[in-house]
Amino acid sequence: MAATLPPIATPGQPLGSSTTHTAGPGTSLFSNQIISTIAGAVSVIPASGSSLPAITVRRAPLTSTSASTSVLPTVSSIVLARVTRINPRQATVTIFCVGDVPLNDEFQGIIRVQDVRATEKDKVKIFESFRPGDIVRALVISLGDQSNYYLSTAHNSLGVIMAKSEVGDLMHPLNWRQMASTRTGAVEERKVAKPV
């Protein structure tokens, strides 16, 4: 079956029947046919267990040096974001990386006070969790409103991963709620992500 596949697919091109394959990334179903939705190299992911082999189309990179992009934050994706401003109800961030893929454009997101951590939600104070300039690993919980994605850091692995102290020194994590300056040892409060 794989031998009959073309090396390159273009949008709309039928690649196989849905009875023998499943539609992987870059393809979609159209009246029992798996059709390509992008231009790219075709490959087949072999069947694992009871599932059928999946036909996928990989997008060509934008230039010879860049990675293939055009990803968007979706619900349940892990993103990296930079805190831009804080107020007692929420921290506003710009998302610059989804999973491992850096984005071409930055998307705005907010971390509301109730989404900062899983326990003692009523005692969370935003300014003891994030400061402008911090780099945060977060989970997208909703596509949000017209301009913001809603993010959450309510997990051990989520939270601040890089921060600078009030005077501008880089800080290292002490525990899940404190970071210390690498130069002076001054301690500041953050919602710290567990180092991986």
Partner 1 sequence: MALADRRRINGPLTGTTPPLFTSTPESPISLKSARDIRPVFIKTSLTPPAHGSAYLEIHTSTLKLSASVYGPRPLPPSAPFSPHARVTAEVKFAPFSTPGIRRGYVRDNFERDLSSQLQIALCRAINTAKYPKSGVDVFVTIIDTGSNAREVNEFEILTAAINVSSVAVCDAGVEMVDLVSAGFVGRDAQGDIVCDPENVMEKMCLVSYMAARDEITMVWTKGEMEGEEVVKMTDVAAETAGRTRGVVSEAVKERVWSLQLGGKPDVKMSG
65-84 residues near partner 1, rule: CB under 8 A: 68-70, 72
CA dist 87 and 128 (Å) reads 11
Q: Kindly state the greatest CA–CA separation across the chain.
A: 66
Task: Check if the beta carbon of residue 138 is closer than 8 Å to that of residue 158.
Answer: yes
The only residue of 15, 107, 139, 181 in contact with partner 1, by rule CB under 8 A: 107
Residue 13 lies near partner 1 (rule: CB under 8 A): yes
Cβ 99 to partner 1, closest distance in Å? Answer: 16
CA dist 21 and 40 (Å) reads 18
Q: Which is nearer to partner 1, 56 or 129 (CB)?
A: 56
* Helices then strands, each counted (H, E), the chain: 0, 16
Residue 104 lies near partner 1 (rule: CB under 8 A): yes
CA dist 101 and 44 (Å) reads 23
147-176 residues near partner 1, rule: CB under 8 A: 147
Which residues of the shown chain bind partner 1 in the complex (CB under 8 A)? 7-8, 10-14, 26, 28, 30, 35, 37-41, 58-64, 68-70, 72, 104-108, 143, 145-147
